[in-house]
Structure 1
Amino acid sequence: MDESQGSRRIDGGTVRLLVIVLLGAVLITIPWLTHNRLVDSEERVAAAWADVESTLQRRADLVPNLVRSVQQHMTYESETLVRLVRERADALSDALVTARGGGDPARFAGLEAALSRELARLMRQAGEHPALRSGDQFLRLQAQLEGSENRINVARLRYNAAVRDYNGALRGFIGRWVAGSLGLAPRDYFEARPGAEEPVPVAFE
């Protein structure tokens, strides 16, 4: 009788030990997995933002070629617009170089939207010159600008999707605690200014 009671006591102690071990494993595993998920999400945001910067830089680099190709065909009244487009592109390019990998989405959205507006105006005026409009170099630049616009839009969408996943992970119950210990903060979405969603026109009637 005493033996069976001792056996039951041993079995009960073993069960309690297993429960404690399992609870300890859970308490260690959940924060560890959350930590890894947050770090991975942050890296995805950084990679997506690098893609945005790359596509913005690509378009900024195209602008000087576009300006050179249209400048000789533009009238005196359009020289200010040509200069303004060049200045906008230079400002965006300089900002990208200065803040590589850690830029402010709101600032870049403003610079990018301003360049888009001036490019649209420049392309409309350039379309008034038949010789320029039919030139091979100008047509190639048009196609490249159109490709850049598409790339920028895709890069924005991917960046915002990465930010959404990252910010969502930060707001989780365990995520808040782990993020605080890592010093992680929510990221801003890339929100273009009103009208910036319209692509630069690259085809004329």
Structure 2
Amino acid sequence: MKKWLIPLIIIVAIVFGIYNWAVGFNNTAVEYQENAKTAWSNVESSYQRRNDLIGNLVKTVQGAADFEKSTLKEVIEARAKATSVNINAGDLTPEKMAQFQQAQTGLSGALSKLLVSVERYPDIKANKNFLELQSQLEGTENRINVARDRFNSEVNIYNKHIKKFPNSVLAGIFNFSDMARYKADPGAEKAPNVNFDFNKK
């Protein structure tokens, strides 16, 4: 009887150890994954704030009767495209991230073009509402950068957790896969410059 007791205790200990390891891995992976999803929601929230500000900016600029209609149309269309590209936080594939990023980059370009065009309109540049919106946009661009950096940091923590051996063995069993990071546009290490010094000539 005693001969069977020792092997049984060893087997129970091994099973219990594997169970604890699996549960610990799963719970930690879920926590890290949810943190990354929350960080992505903050990225989207920051971009939504920018989209809202751009909408108000367009309305302000539209008050100038002779302002370039093609420039306004370009911003309006780019904004519509940017707001139509949504990603489920649980399905952050590289392809979908690239699509989202491309739409946001298109809006950044259109916005920059609009703000450059405003330089030729002293009445708009002197408009208090416009100046306030322009200032808020600059702050929002900074918030977007911070949110993207935090998202990438959370994704990094999660990805490292599921890739390290022996966690990588369980990752496949529990269906945990890599999350895509937000990549900078080529040559766009800095946020679009939306803070023009209107006093410069």
TM-score normalised by the shorter chain: which range applies? 0.7 to 0.9
For residues 184 and 81 of structure 1, the distance between their equivalents in structure 2, rounded to whole angstroms, comes to 45
Structure 1: 5+ residue runs without aligned partners?
Answer: 1-9
Q: 2:179 aligns with which of 184, 187, 191?
A: 187
**1:128 Cα deviation (Å)?**
2.5
Q: Deviations over 1:45-89 (max 9, x none)?
A: 11111111111111112212111111333746x321111111111
Which residue is 1:117 aligned to? 109
For residues 165 and 52 of structure 2, the distance between their equivalents in structure 1, rounded to whole angstroms, comes to 44
Question: Percent of aligned pairs with the same residue?
Answer: 31
Which residue is 1:83 aligned to? 73
Rate the CA distance shift 1:55–1:61 in 2: closer, same or farther, 3 A: same
Q: Deviations over 1:110-168 (max 9, x none)?
A: 11111111111111111222221121100110111112101111110011111111111
Q: 1:92 aligns with which of 75, 82, 106?
A: 82
Which residue is 2:52 aligned to? 61
Which residue is 2:194 aligned to? 201
Q: Are positions 1:178 and 2:170 aligned together? A: yes
For residues 177 and 5 of structure 2, the distance between their equivalents in structure 1, rounded to whole angstroms, comes to 43
Give TM-score, length-normalised by structure 1.
0.83
Q: Are positions 1:107 and 2:99 aligned together? A: yes
Moved more, 152-161 or 87-96: 87-96
Number of aligned residues: 193
SS in structure 1 of the partner of residue 144 of structure 2:
helix
Q: 1:40 aligns with which of 15, 18, 31?
A: 31
Mapping for residues 10-25 of structure 1, pairs under 5 Å: 20-25=11-16
Name whichever structure is richer in helix by fraction. Answer: 1
For residues 38 and 133 of structure 1, the distance between their equivalents in structure 2, rounded to whole angstroms, comes to 51
**1:17 Cα deviation (Å)?**
6.3
Which residue is 1:135 aligned to? 127
Rg (Cα) greater in structure: 1
